[in-house]
Amino acid sequence: MDNTLYDYSPIVSRPKLTWPDGARLAFYVGLNIEHYEIDKPSTSIFPGTAALAPDPLNYGWRDYALRVGIWRIIETLDRLKLPATVLLNSDCCRFHPQVIEAGRDRGWAWLAHGKNNSIFQAGMTVDEERAYLTEVVGTIAEATGQEVKGWLGPALTETFETPRLLRELGLTYLLDWCADDQPFPLNIPGMISVPYSIELNDVTMFLGKSLSGEQFYQMVVDQFDQLYADGEQTGRVMALCLHPFIISQPFRHKYLVKALEYIAGHEGVWFTTADDIASHYAGLL
């Protein structure tokens, strides 16, 4: 079975994409706020203990995110007056209500990111997945007081039915398909894809490639510079994808600050959320 979710469309053949106020680039911070079950292996810094239950080394490392790291990021975003696009595990509504309160106070955009990052939909039947997604979306909407419009799967995972089921629940866009520098329509009426990034992502950069903070900073700047230049011809999207237990370790965080300050110093950038990018693009179709 070939991919039937979306059609091939070379970017050089599309109409010019325009952003509000003539901006070249739409930029958003994708902030992953996640919960991990204590008795299951997951993203780990040391594989030697990852299969143990409990696994204090790796679980504690991940738990740093919402105890410390998120508050360091919030301080930076507040200072630079940058909005956050939050990829939220619905379990965080139960276990981390202080974070939800902080985000509500700041008007964050809330996307559904599964129940937690220990559960993937793979292997679910359609009925099982429908019930699962309904619970996730409903929990987030109730806790945040905001309609959920977008989805990012845990580890960017889906089934072949996920986009259709999400549309049934009223969602209008996905971030899982990192195939473009612009939003694009899916072959499900009312559903589009909005760019996310699997490479400009602190999990890939620091865990997958063991990059330094300086290298992270340079890659963010290089990504921005290229997309900013490309945006002179037609609008582009840049997503900066962050996990607070990784990027906001004390020895790394200053490189995030430096990168955000660099981007914030440019004119012609729409500092926005994935929700607003999706809404604007949908209005152009």
Residue 4 lies in a domain: no
Task: Say which residue the tokens 């106020």 belong to.
Answer: 21
Contact 141, 133 (CB under 8 A): no
φ, ψ dihedrals at 33, nearest 5°: -110, 110
User: What pLDDT does residue 224 have?
Assistant: 98
Exposure string over 114-141, b if 16+ CB within 10 A, otherwise e:
bbbbbbebeebeeeebbebbeebbebbb
Residue 16 lies in a domain: no
User: What pLDDT does residue 122 have?
Assistant: 87
In single-letter form, the type of residue at position 43 comes to T
Residue 20 lies in a domain: no
pLDDT grade for 139, boundaries at 50, 70 and 90: very high
Tell me what percent of the residues of the chain surpass a pLDDT of 90: 97
The string of pLDDT tens digits covering residues 154-191 is 999 999 999 999 999 999 999 999 999 999 999 999 99
Residue 141 lies in a domain: yes
Contact 30, 202 (CB under 8 A): no
Structure tokens at 208: 């997958």
Q: Is the peptide bond before 54 cis (omega within 30 degrees of 0)?
A: yes
Residue 128 lies in a domain: yes
Residue 245 structural domain: 27-284
pLDDT above 80 for 1: no
User: What pLDDT does residue 282 have?
Assistant: 98
Query: What letter would DSSP give residue 51?
Result: T
Residue 123 lies in a domain: yes
H/E segment holding residue 111: strand 109-112
Q: Which of 12, 26, 21 is nearest to 231 (CA)?
A: 26
Q: Which residues contact 263 (CB under 8 A, 6 or more apart)?
A: 27, 220, 224, 269
Does this model's pTM top 0.85? yes
The average confidence (pLDDT) of the chain is 97
Strands 184-185 and 192-193: antiparallel
User: What pLDDT does residue 101 have?
Assistant: 98
The string of pLDDT tens digits covering residues 91-104 is 999 999 999 999 99
Structure tokens at 4: 């039937």
Structure tokens at 192: 């589009």
Number of structural domains (the chain) is 1
User: What pLDDT does residue 272 have?
Assistant: 98
pLDDT above 80 for 105: yes
Residue 19 lies in a domain: no
The string of pLDDT tens digits covering residues 206-256 is 999 999 999 999 999 999 999 999 999 999 999 999 999 999 999 999 999
Residue 83 lies in a domain: yes
Residue 67 vs residue 285, higher pLDDT: 67
CATH number at residue 252: 3.20.20.370
User: What pLDDT does residue 106 have?
Assistant: 97
The string of pLDDT tens digits covering residues 54-90 is 999 999 999 999 999 999 999 999 999 999 999 999 9
Measure Cα distances from 194 to 49, 101, 115, 182 in Å.
Answer: 36, 26, 21, 7
